[in-house]
Amino acid sequence: MSQRPFAQIDVFTATATLGNPVAVVLDGSGLDDAALQRFARWTNLSETTFVLPPTDPAADYRLRIFTPGGELPFAGHPTLGSCFAWLAAGGRPQRADRIVQQCAKGLIEIRRDGQRLAFAAPAMQASAPAPSVLAKVVAALGLPAAQVRQARLLDNGPQWLTLLLDSADTVLALEPDHAQLANLKQKVGVVGVYTQDEATSLIAKSSREARAFGTPADAPLIEVRAFAAPIGVPEDPVTGSLNASLAQWLIGAGELPAAYVAAQGTALGRAGRVHVTRDAAGQVWVGGDCVGCIEGTVRL
């Protein structure tokens, strides 16, 4: 065992403890898969990452991403949090305006928008879910079928069976049967659109949260929740991969504009904010603030 640099970063928030934390081991060299998985299970966070030297010369670093239940080819909040930690630890990208992360999904480009980082959403495949599976998921969520406007299987590495519901209030009211979702072996994302009055009310509901949420210009357009019981995470506080696929699906379908803010984590007492834009070339960028919470070493 050796001392390795370590950081814990809160992602999709500028205020510590209101986002989604990721544990980052900044030197994962020499550790086998069993050791990586064991440490990820021990942290008990939705994701733990390990930074390694790149094997692709186009990349600035390589990242392996683990949940308590297994490895992911890609995930959004670990990408932003790990990049933030790598830069804070002295990482120097090949280009001043871009960082390139290598992961099992391939090369992920990350840009700096002032102090905020944003990743280029990887290619996503969308398909219709099997009606029998959809019916079981809807039942596990405790939803009347009439409240489901649309459903898609979205896959950008992680796969999410994603439901567009009739309102943000419906999303927030969900009380899923997590054991049933685990048995179905299907991660589930849900999204609902806020009215302008609802979003403004969400920002203003307390002074502490108002500071975290920002100005009315940052009012969220949608509320997102992510249920991932099959990988040991009943509800993920803020989910970059899901928001990336959601943006590609719903912007492409004309349901959402080319730039908006998503809220996630509200039901868990968090204040996650995901900043989404689609540029003129059609590339979706998923951004968020990051704040360091823990810095030191870990013995692995």
Same domain assignment for residues 139 and 114: no
Same domain assignment for residues 103 and 150: no
Rounded average pLDDT over 62-91: 96
Same domain assignment for residues 250 and 292: no
Alpha-carbon span 125 to 154, nearest angstrom? 6
Same domain assignment for residues 211 and 277: yes
Token pair recorded at residue 113:
């928008």
Give tens-digit pLDDT for 14-39: 999 999 999 999 999 999 999 999 99
How many domains does the structure of the chain reveal? 2
Q: What is the pLDDT of residue 115?
A: 85
Same domain assignment for residues 116 and 134: no
Known catalytic membership, residue 209 = no
Same domain assignment for residues 25 and 139: no
CB 214 within 8 A of CB 269: no
First to last CA, the chain: 5
Same domain assignment for residues 112 and 154: no
Burial string for 159-181 (b: 16+ CB within 10 Å, else e) reads ebbbbbbebbebbbebebebeeb
The number of beta carbons lying within 10 Å of the beta carbon of residue 25 is 26
Residue whose structure tokens are 């943006």: 247
Give tens-digit pLDDT for 130-173: 999 999 999 999 999 999 999 999 999 999 999 999 999 999 99
Same domain assignment for residues 130 and 228: yes
CATH of the domain at 42: 3.10.310.10
Same domain assignment for residues 273 and 171: yes
The pLDDT confidence band at residue 113, using thresholds 50, 70 and 90, is confident
Same domain assignment for residues 142 and 246: yes
Residue type, 237: P
Residue 272 in this model has a pLDDT that exceeds 70: yes
Q: What is the pLDDT of residue 1?
A: 85
Q: What is the pLDDT of residue 204?
A: 58
* Among 47, 71, 175, 235, the one annotated catalytic: 47
Q: What is the pLDDT of residue 196?
A: 67
Instruction: Return the beta strands (E) in the chain as ranges.
Output: 3-11, 20-25, 48-52, 61-67, 70-72, 98-103, 106-113, 116-120, 125-127, 148-155, 159-165, 188-193, 222-228, 233-236, 259-264, 272-278, 284-288, 290-299
The pLDDT confidence band at residue 211, using thresholds 50, 70 and 90, is very low
Domain that holds residue 185: 125-281
Same domain assignment for residues 50 and 68: yes
CB 105 within 8 A of CB 73: yes
* Residues forming beta bridges with residue 191, ordered by sequence position: 164, 224
Q: What is the pLDDT of residue 215?
A: 47
Same domain assignment for residues 55 and 147: no
The pLDDT confidence band at residue 207, using thresholds 50, 70 and 90, is very low
